[in-house]
Amino acid sequence: MERGSPGASRPVEPGPCLSSLRGAEPAASASTLSAARAQPGSRVIAVAAVLPAGGCGERMGVPTPKQFCPILERPLISYTLQALERVYWIKDIVVAVTRENMGAMRNIIQKYQHTRISLVEAGETRHRSIFNGLKALAKDQPDTQLSKPEVVIIHDAVRPFVEEDVLLKVVAAAKEHGAAGAIRPLVSTVISPSADGCLEISLERARHRASEMPQAFLFDVIYEAYRQCSDYDLEFGTECLHLALKYSHTKAKLVEGPPDLWKVTYKRDLYAAESIIKERISHAVCVVMDPKQDKEPVDHFLEALKNELNDVKIESREPGQAGRDIQQSNLEQCYNFVSMNIMMSDFQETRKLLHMLEESNLSILYPVVVVSVHFFDFKLVPLSQKMESLMWIRESAKEMKKRNILLFGLIIDYSQGEQKLQESLRQGAIIIASLIKERSSALVGQLLVA
């Protein structure tokens, strides 16, 4: 068992524990537990998580195990780790990976600056991998730096969209009942076929539920269950809640989970996960411009942009202010920037913005989109005379792409009549909205004309 290297900097500092509430409802909110933690004499409970990540991804039909498949050029498991790291009261996260993937996992931890991660060697089956993770937390393995938690969360490495709310609910329920797990309504009816392939039993869908992750247990309950279970259970079993019931005689509390607990299983699920991630990081746009520039075209352009990006927060920032925001931002970061250059071809504002982004860690986890918008009066200076300086975007984009910053250029003719200018502004807004939503690396460095 080895401890992962801590990252250089992360937006949220880890916390060691969760407040314990006497008589707390499983659905207790984060604010309720935070308030209890602040009360004098309130007891805290230590929480850890175990992620089995030793699967080979047979059902996905790709050579790379699904937990290491890239989404926006970042391994799927990294998103799951990030989701757990956001929850500061999870003290330790133990990941079980195969020996051949141990090096790759270490690289992921280092590259994406994951913290609180410990690695153990996965077993041949899912249950054996989980058992190895529990052994590490129980100090049953040599050289462990971990301490035994009171509650342990078991979660799949390929369920990247788990939120703190559902984690909190299963932990609170496990503290009260000994075991808890998230469930979801069945989408399809479950049937049992006979030996000759004919229908034998059809279950009433309304009375049954699909067992999902995360699940949580009092550590002693689930650890003792694994210590007692048979080789058959370890080899062919999949349901941790069943082991707690069978060997520790603990009935799990079932917690209704949200729709986004689904598991990445098939190749099409990778595209669905990418779509969700793109949508989540496209909900804020920061517009950067020098306050000395003419704001009239910018105001019209922002109105057009708001019409294209419904329910998107658009904020205008001066370069220095944008830099401070980048340095001080935490989990609610903006990954989309529009740099306004009015009647200028030296990219002054864009250069400042790119320099700030390079110095920050913003692009480590997600690709950052930067659109450099240029308003030119083509009646005064023909576009052909501007092209030489505008080619700077292409060269800079190559370097920025190495840092996961996607740079694009957009040109708008400011010398047009009012009606044509409004149409160009609308077209420009459509182009920017598309660049932000799609995040296509194929168009990086392109000079687009609205």
178-218 per-position pLDDT tens digit: 999 999 999 899 999 999 999 999 998 889 999 999 999 99
What are the structure tokens assigned to 350, written together?
């864009």
CATH architecture of 281-449: 3-Layer(aba) Sandwich (3.40)
What are the structure tokens assigned to 65, written together?
């195990």
> Cα 213 vs. chain centroid, distance in angstroms?
16
pLDDT in tens, 148-186: 999 999 999 999 999 999 999 999 999 999 999 999 999
Please say whether the dihedral angle defined by the alpha carbons of residues 361, 362, 368 and 373, taken in this order, is positive or negative: negative
State mean pLDDT over 59-66: 74
pLDDT score for 367? 95
Give the number of other Cβ atoms within 10 Å of residue 450's Cβ: 20
What are the structure tokens assigned to 370, written together?
């930067």
Between CA 155 and CA 163 the distance in angstroms is 12
Q: Which of 25-39, 212-226, 315-329 has the lowest mean pLDDT?
A: 25-39
Q: Is the pLDDT of residue 34 over 80?
A: no
State mean pLDDT over 249-256: 97
Q: Rounded to 5 degrees, what are φ and ψ at 75? A: -60, 140
pLDDT score for 395? 87
pLDDT score for 76? 97
pTM of the model: 0.86
The band of 58, judged by pLDDT with boundaries at 50, 70 and 90, is low
Give the number of other Cβ atoms within 10 Å of residue 294's Cβ: 13
State mean pLDDT over 316-340: 65
DSSP 312: -
For 5, half-sphere exposure in the C-beta direction (CA atoms, 13 angstrom radius) is 12
The band of 37, judged by pLDDT with boundaries at 50, 70 and 90, is very low
Sequence-ordered alpha helix ranges (H) in 283-341:
296-308, 319-328
Q: Is the pLDDT of residue 141 over 80?
A: no
Give the number of other Cβ atoms within 10 Å of residue 331's Cβ: 10
Query: Which of the two residues, 260 and 213, has the higher pLDDT score?
Result: 213
* Contact between 412 and 450 (Cβ < 8 Å): yes
pLDDT score for 14? 37
Q: Give how far Cα 421 sits from Cα of 110, 296, 417, Å.
A: 48, 12, 6
Q: Give how far Cα 369 sits from Cα of 147, 287, 366, Å.
A: 42, 12, 10
pLDDT score for 389? 66
Between CA 125 and CA 345 the distance in angstroms is 60
What are the structure tokens assigned to 175, written together?
């503290």
pLDDT in tens, 383-425: 666 676 677 888 899 999 999 999 999 988 877 788 888 899 9
pLDDT in tens, 101-140: 999 999 999 999 999 999 999 999 999 999 999 999 997 5
CATH architecture of 2-276: Alpha-Beta Complex (3.90)
Tell me the domain boundaries of the chain. 2-276, 281-449
Q: Is the pLDDT of residue 380 over 80?
A: no
What is the chain's mean pLDDT, rounded?
Answer: 84
Between CA 353 and CA 325 the distance in angstroms is 12
* Contact between 45 and 17 (Cβ < 8 Å): yes
* Contact between 161 and 212 (Cβ < 8 Å): no
Q: Is the pLDDT of residue 60 over 80?
A: no
